[in-house]
Amino acid sequence: MVTRARPSRARPLWVACALGVLAVAMLAGLLDGAADISPWQVVLQVADWLPFGHVDSGLAPVEQGLLLELRLPRVLVAAVVGGLLAMAGAAYQGVFRNPLADPYLLGAAAGAGLATTAAIVLLPAATASIPVAAFIGALGGVLLAYTLGNTAGRSGGTATLVLAGVAVTSFLTAIQTFIQQFDVEELQRVYAWILGDVGGGWEQLWMILPYAAVSSVVLLLHGRMLDVLSVGDEEASGLGVRAARVRFTVLVAASLATAAAVAVSGLIGFVGIVVPHVVRRLAGGSYRIVLPLSLIGGAAFLVLADLVARTVLAPAELPIGVVTMFVGAPFFVGVLRMTRRAVT
C-alpha cells in the first residue's frame, strides 16, 4: 500500500527548486547538438526568445533556425512527455494505493502501444487518429490489468497487481507484434517508435498539447481528493468524497496523459516510478505536492535522459527508452524490496 499522506514541507520552495532544475535541464538540452554553437550565444538567443528580451545573440539565421526548428521542439516534447508519464504514475499509485503502479508496468503503455501500432499499420494516413486510439488502448490495458489482479483477491497485494500488469503487457505486446506483420514496410517506423523518440519536431508538440493540458488540469485538481482516499474509502465517504467517482476520473485522466505521451514518443518506461518516489522522499506524501512536483520533475528527468541519449554514443544516438530503463530497472528493484519489507 502507498503510505498515508504526510504534510508537504515548504511547498512553494520545492516547486521553485523543481522549476530551477527544469530550467537548467532544458538549457543543457539546447546547448547540445551536432552543430558547434557557442553556449553563450545559445543563452543569449534564449534570452531573446523571452518576453521583452530583445537581445542580439550574434547567431546566423541558419543557426537560429537550427535552435528553433530542431533543438527547442525536441526539448519541449521531452519535457511534456516526461511530465505526463511521471504525473500519471503518481496518479495511478494514488488510485490503486500501490507504490508499484506505473503506466509502463500497469498495462497502460502496452495498451496505448498496441492501439498506436494498429493505427500506424492499418490507418497510416490518419495521423490525427493516433492519440484517440492510444487513449482507448491505455484505458483498456489498465482496466484489464486491474480486473485480472482483482481475481486473485486482496491477499495478492502489491505483487498481484504487478504480475497482472506484466501478464497483460506481454499479451498486448504479442498482439502488437502480430499486427506489425501486416505491413513490413512500416516495421522500421514502428520499431523506432517502440524504443522511444522525442525528435519529431513542432508537429509532435502541437499534437500532444491539448491532451496534456486537459489531463494535467484534471489530475492537479484532484490532489486533495487522492489525499482523502489514502486514508480509506469509509473515511473518505464520511468526509463527503465519492471514492468511485474520484477513482474513475483520475484513472481516465491518467490514461489520457499516458496515451498522449505514448502516441508521440513511443514506449518510455519507468518514468512513472522513479520520479514520484523521489518526490515523496524529498517533499512528503501529500498528492497536492506529489502531483505538481512529479509533473515538473518528470519533465526535467526526461530532458536529461534525452541529453544522455544524444551524447553517450555521439554522433550516434541511443534510444531514450534504453536510458530510462538503465535508470529505472535497478530503481524498481529497490522500490520492490522496500515494499516487501514494509509488508512483512
The phi and psi torsions of 34 (rounded to 5 degrees) equal -65, -35
The predicted-structure confidence for 65-113, as pLDDT tens digits, reads as follows 888 888 899 999 999 999 999 999 999 888 888 777 788 777 888 888 8
- Lowest-confidence pick of 138-152, 155-169, 264-278, 307-321: 155-169
Instruction: Give the helix/strand (H/E) hosting 136.
Output: helix 129-150
Binned at pLDDT 50, 70 and 90, residue 2 comes out as very low
Mean pLDDT, rounded, for 230-245 = 74
The yes-or-no verdict on residue 251 having pLDDT over 90 is no
pLDDT at 3: 47
pLDDT at 340: 60
- Nearest-angstrom CA–CA distance, 238 and 111: 36
Q: Is 223 helix (H, G, I), strand (E, B) or coil?
A: helix
Binned at pLDDT 50, 70 and 90, residue 7 comes out as very low
The yes-or-no verdict on residue 215 having pLDDT over 90 is yes
Q: Does domain 11-343 have CATH number 1.10.3470.10?
A: yes
**Helix/strand/coil percent split, the chain, to 5:** 75, 0, 25
- Lowest-confidence pick of 241-245, 251-255, 261-265, 298-302: 241-245
Mean pLDDT, rounded, for 257-284 = 87
Residue 100 contacts residue 272 (beta carbons within 8 Å): no
The yes-or-no verdict on residue 144 having pLDDT over 60 is yes
Binned at pLDDT 50, 70 and 90, residue 263 comes out as confident
The yes-or-no verdict on residue 6 having pLDDT over 60 is no
Question: Which residues does 334 contact at the CB level (< 8 Å), separation at least 6?
Answer: none
The yes-or-no verdict on residue 188 having pLDDT over 60 is yes
Question: Which residues does 121 contact at the CB level (< 8 Å), separation at least 6?
Answer: 179, 180, 182, 183, 186, 190
The yes-or-no verdict on residue 307 having pLDDT over 70 is yes
Mean pLDDT, rounded, for 313-333 = 83
Binned at pLDDT 50, 70 and 90, residue 311 comes out as confident
pLDDT at 5: 47
Strand stretches in 257-318, DSSP E? none
pLDDT at 335: 73
pLDDT at 312: 86
Mean pLDDT of the chain: 82
Mean pLDDT, rounded, for 154-167 = 69
The predicted-structure confidence for 121-138, as pLDDT tens digits, reads as follows 777 666 666 777 878 888
